[in-house]
Amino acid sequence: AATNRKDVLDPALLRPGRFDRQVTVPNPDIKGREKILNVHARKIPLGPDVDLRIIARGTPGFSGADLANLVNEAALMAARVGRRFVTMEDFEQAKDKVMMGAERRSMVLTDEQKEHTAYHEAGHAVVGLALPKCDPVYKATIIPRGGALGMVVSLPEMDRLNWHKDQCQQNLAMTMAGKAAEILKWGEEEVSNGPAGDIMQASQLARAMVMRWGMSDKVGNIDYAEAAEGYSGNTGGFSVSAHTKELIEEEVKGFVQQGYARAKQILEERREEWERLAQGLLEYETLTGDEIKRVMAGEPPHLDENDDHGAAAKEEETSVLAIPKTKPRKKPAGEGGLEPEPMA
């Protein structure tokens, strides 16, 4: 038998003599991911540039099913263009699809919506790059994917085994940077419902910090996450007084507000870089982590050698906001997506 919710099982099932051996099956580490990829990749022809170790390193947190889906999607990418073998580019596109959802290029956005999305996502990326304990930014896009109009994806450099308080606070700042960007650009009255997902993520992280991880001095080192009244909906556990609930909510709100204020300060200090990146996203739609850094520095993103504009772009000086006009990159996009506005 298998379950992801041991806490809701009937205790009688776990009495001695029934399910005596309990095995925890976490997501695979880098070595496990490489072995799983090797098993699934046996079924498809791989190009000479494919390195499964690199793919395993770039997929932290993927389950075995995620990796199987990744290989299948990569094979489909190659088949769509009539290629007889799968390349690293196919795997990159497949990873983007698995992580962020399929592109919805048929969804037509107005220029105003694109600009709103670009500044929102640029805010996430700039704050994430400014804070050293945030995961490296992997990719930013303003192409609608899944249920979001755009998103910034960060990937850890290695498998994460634990969280530290400073790390959590920096992640809260990156998560709230989208809303901070909208308010800085257009004011309080023009903020959209786009940050709804960001607010939910920030609230979940802040509640874990306060209620489970003991990172609040006022609440203390007590686990309130399993309390019966008002939070998890469990039938067991213990009750929490009204005063304690109020204190918990104050601390949760405090952590989120601190993250928002930190993000806003960073964007004010780095407004020039933020503007450059927003304009770059409007021009190119999707940028990788390295391309984001170059655009923020006022440089053009990496251009293909066969691009007619490549040589000229390298020679000319790039102004603060002038991103050289080139044809959009054909690679599809691949801790904060802007949600679509509700339909009228």
Q: What is the pLDDT of residues 205-214, one digit of tens each?
A: 999 999 999 9
pLDDT band at 342 (very low <50, low <70, confident <90, very high): very low
pLDDT at 315: 38
pLDDT (tens digit, 9 = 90+) per residue, 53-85?
A: 999 988 988 999 999 999 999 999 999 999 999
- Average pLDDT, integer, range 196-221: 94
pLDDT of 275 over the 60 cut: yes
- Choosing from 89, 115, 121, 285, the catalytic residue is 121
**Separation of alpha carbons 299 and 245, rounded Å:** 50
The model's pTM: 0.76
Count of Cβ atoms closer than 10 Å to residue 306 Cβ: 6
pLDDT at 264: 96
Highest-pLDDT range among 127-131, 141-145, 308-312, 329-333: 127-131
Assess whether 305 carries a catalytic annotation: no
Q: What percent of the chain has pLDDT over 70?
A: 84
**Separation of alpha carbons 21 and 3, rounded Å:** 14
According to DSSP, residue 230 is labeled T
pLDDT (tens digit, 9 = 90+) per residue, 276-335?
A: 999 999 999 999 999 999 999 988 886 555 544 444 443 333 333 333 333 344 444 444
HSE-CB of 163 using CA atoms within 13 angstroms: 17
**Separation of alpha carbons 207 and 253, rounded Å:** 9
Closest CA to 151 of 90, 74, 97: 97
3-class secondary-structure state, position 288: strand
